[in-house]
Amino acid sequence: MKLNELTAHEILKEISEKRITPAEVYRALREVIKAREPKVHAYAHADDAAIAFDEKNLGKIPVPIAIKDNICIKDYPTTCASHILEGFRPPYDATVIKKLREAGLVFLGHANMDEFAFGSSTESSFFGVTRNPWNLECVPGGSSGGSVAAVAANETIWALGSDTGGSIRQPASFCGVVGLKPAYGRVSRYGLIAFASSLDQIGPITKDVEDCALLLNLIAGHDEMDSTSANLPVPDFTKSLTKNVAGLKIAIPKEYFVEGIDPEVKKSIFEAIELLKSKGASFKEISMPHTEYAVATYYILATAEASSNLARFDGVQYGLRVQPSKLRQTPIIDLYEETRDQGFGAEAKRRIMLGTYSLSSGYYDAYYLKAQKVRTLIKQDFDEAFKSFDAIMTPTAPTTAFKIGEKTSDPLSMYLSDIYTISVNLAGVPAISIPCGFAKNGLPIGLQIIGKPFDEEMLFRIAHTYEQATDWHKKRVNL
């Protein structure tokens, strides 16, 4: 039995029956991290004594976890994988970190990510590229690629990521693990360094659906520190793991199966549909006509919010400060410009400029305001579908993982990697990606299930039913 390959619920059972100890699990993971990190590079910061194992302060769930590098951990390097935040150590814990501490989880470190979550491949990190554990020549997806790769490579038991346009689900699909974007407002964003505040959501990344439900139990709930946090009861999500989909009505949007989808991905999705049909669920094709506008809408709104959120990084308050070599304007303006020029990477600069442009005088109405109106139409597509159906099922991504470097010179092609996940964030609904097969190239394929607002229970019910009838989630990489 390899401790690092176990799920959280398996570890908790082994600990409760006194066959293993939390310290043994932690040590096993540290050894695996040491051996595999040179190949995978899942972590941005994983060797700081500030959050080392403390056997005296273990709680009910002493299971090691990796945290995406944009979620604040008090006094621990939190950099969003950006040079501009180099050396920054937050003076407080994010609400999700506080909740995990109370539950007794053990922190392994901050996982690598695309800089400020700007990307779909984890190639834009200041700390270097993260690799897909199933094929080290391929990307793990992004922007939560480090968190997902750490789970897939068994360098952690589970992880937290953030999802702005598919940043948990797309890499989960590429790496063959479970990734959930909860409904907007289900999990507090306090302490999450913002990319696009109306779209961002923290969520769990795990080896199976049961762990995903358990981790969501720990982090969900209203938070007075977050004005967008929903003041709603939080159910016990583990009670949704019933293996029963009889009578459920599931929609299949035809817009998600158009030209560009890999035939092997399409085949795996329809095999999953047939399996769930055999369990009593019914399926019907529908149209969600505004889906085609989702990518354009997202990249106007997300970059606009990013340009606003990143204005705070100026060399004065946080992280990097670059003193200008010569005076060109005023000392403070030169400081801002030098710091931002050296501190931000190419993709961050690209998105800041795009967002600033769409918010500028003369273009606000033509771009930003119009995008907000189209966002409403996209949400109405979901509202209409959920009048008749319990859930919606689609591929998570149109292809399996692509090669490192394949799309870095073509930003538009990179942006299209999230074409099946973006609409979910625009509508604010929950969605989960689960493994549903492997392509001939040996890379995983993901199935996306989308639910009604705050109906994560339905997602777990369907996902668990499918998972228990297959073995995809049991496969482990050999590194």
* Tokens (6 digits) for 307: 């340009």
68 given a catalytic annotation: yes
| Active-site annotation holder among 167, 240, 423, 433 | 167
Asked, as a colleague might, if the bond just before 143 is cis with ω within 30 of 0, I would say: yes
CA 466 to chain centre: 22
Record the tokens describing residue 373, joined without a space.
């109106």
Cβ pair 168, 149 in contact under 8 A: no
Spot the catalytic one: 68, 99, 181, 207.
68
Long-range contacts of 368-372 (CB under 8 A, 24+ apart): 368/300, 368/301, 368/304, 371/296, 371/297, 371/300, 371/301, 372/301
Query: 221: how many CB neighbours lie within 10 A of its CB?
Result: 18
> Which of the following is catalytic: 143, 229, 358, 423?
143
Max CA-CA distance within the chain?
72
Strand runs (DSSP E) across 74-127, as ranges?
106-111
Q: Phi then psi for 436, rounded to 5 degrees?
A: -135, 15
Measured distance CA(143)–CA(388) in Å, rounded = 33
Assess whether 308 carries a catalytic annotation: no
Signed CA dihedral, 475, 171, 79, 422: sign only:
negative
SS3 label, residue 338: helix
The pair of structure tokens assigned to 172 is 């989960």
Active site residues: 68, 143, 167
